Amino acid sequence: MQAADFHHLYKAKNCTLQCAGSDQWGNITAGIDLIRKKEGVEVYGFTMPLVTTKDGKKFGKSEGNALWLDEKKTSSYEMYQYLINTEDEKILDYLKVFTFLSKEEIEQIYQEHLQHPELRLAQKTLAKSIITFLHGEKAYEKAVRMSEILFSGEVSQLSAKEVETLFRGVPQITITEDQNIVDLLVGSKICSSKREAREFITSGTIMVNGEKMMDPSFVVSKDHAIEQKVTVIRRGKKKYFLLLHE
């Protein structure tokens, strides 16, 4: 089918050169053979090495790790988080492939990174270069700000729209009326029982919009929600839940 696709492009668009990742070599050469046999002309193809992850997987929809250039599909924040967590083993390759930095600049950044890898200079440079090029400097600065806010836990500084972007993919719970915090935690399956909910609350394990919730009688309502729309509940260090107020 892809050979026929190349043939169609040749006939409809006068396409005589097809380029793709190295995994498409067989498809391209099949198209070249088909066009030679049907049309009696030579067409061409070239491939380039695939950009892969540390474990050798390619980027793409089929692998479930596609990074979309469209900000509506992959937000600047999501892209920032992915790039800032790039493995050290791949960061040099990515700087060479995905940025317009000179060879000398990349080598200098990488050497500085090797001296203090915990600062993630190379990853930050990669993220800034890509996001600024794709979405603009303001989008990059916003992504950094959102990342810092998430790290600090001060989610109340975010807008409702930023919260929804930041916590895309976390469990979402819609509530239509005010609820006691204990009943909410149990009813939403954030906690398994009222006893566990009270223990988490009194131990400071539950946070509501970035603030420790240590009062079992607290009532979650629109009045305490961000823009009266969303409330972020965190259990422990990493488990987030998003309440949508109707």
For residue 222, count CB atoms less than 10 angstroms from its CB and return exposed for 0-12, middle for 13-18, buried for 19 or more: middle
pTM of the predicted protein model? 0.67
Which residue's structure tokens are 């959102």? 146
Please count the other Cβ atoms lying within 10 Å of the Cβ belonging to residue 163: 23
Q: How would you write the pLDDT of the chain (246 residues) with one tens digit per residue?
A: 989 999 999 999 999 999 998 889 999 999 999 999 999 999 999 999 888 887 778 776 666 667 888 888 888 888 998 899 999 999 999 999 999 999 999 999 999 999 999 999 999 999 999 999 999 999 999 889 888 877 777 788 888 888 888 787 788 889 999 999 999 999 989 999 999 999 999 999 999 988 889 999 999 998 889 999 999 998 987 788 889 998
Token pair, residue 48, equals 């380039």
Beta strands in 75-221 (DSSP E): 172-175, 179-180, 206-208, 211-212, 219-220
Which residue's structure tokens are 């929600």? 225
Percent helix, percent strand, percent coil in the chain, to nearest 5: 50, 15, 35
222-to-24, 145, 170, 177, 235 alpha-carbon distances in Å: 53, 25, 20, 8, 20
pLDDT given at position 109? 97
Confirm if 130 and 69 have CB atoms less than 8 A apart: no
Dihedral sign for Cα 141, 146, 149, 154, please: positive
Tell me the three state secondary structure of residue 179: strand
Dihedral sign for Cα 157, 159, 160, 164, please: negative
pLDDT given at position 63? 62
Work out the end-to-end distance of the chain between its first and last CA atoms, rounded to an integer number of angstroms: 49
Confirm if 98 and 164 have CB atoms less than 8 A apart: no
